[in-house]
């Protein structure tokens, strides 16, 4: 399992990953893109709680595709290779 932490550390809008028993910083993520992804992750979390039939699926479909595209573009090999990836969003909405 890989752990990735978005936001909350440093000033270059990077992220952290847990590798070989220690935290490694990866910088260079444009702050507005990181903020949008973080807010989108928070919205996806809230959408999962919606009780109206089909509403959570509708919200998640488009937003999920957008988040997946952004994460793949910025995290690339960090999220590839199979297995579980846990993304901790420390920025929130």
Residue found under tokens 């509708």: 58
Predicted TM-score (pTM) of the model is: 0.71
Q: Is the per-residue pLDDT at 93 higher than 50?
A: no
DSSP for 44-55 reads HHHHTT--STTH
Q: Is 23 helix (H, G, I), strand (E, B) or coil?
A: strand
Task: State which residues form the domain around 68.
Answer: 2-89
pLDDT in tens, 14-28: 788 888 889 888 877
Count how many domains the chain has: 1
pLDDT in tens, 22-75: 988 887 777 788 878 888 888 888 888 999 989 999 989 989 899 888 888 877
Q: Is 56 helix (H, G, I), strand (E, B) or coil?
A: helix
Q: Closest Cα to residue 33, out of 52, 14, 18? A: 14
Contact 34, 91 (CB under 8 A): yes
């Amino acid at each position: 399992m890989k752990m990735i932490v978005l936001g909350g550390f440093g000033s270059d809008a990077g992220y952290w990953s847990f590798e070989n028993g220690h935290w490694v910083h990866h910088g260079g993520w444009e702050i507005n893109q990181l903020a949008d992804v973080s807010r989108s992750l928070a919205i996806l979390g809230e959408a999962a709680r919606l009780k109206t039939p089909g509403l959570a699926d509708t919200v998640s479909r488009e937003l999920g595709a957008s988040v997946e595209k952004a994460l793949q573009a910025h995290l690339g090999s960090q999220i590839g290779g199979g297995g579980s990836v846990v993304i901790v969003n420390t920025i929130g909405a």
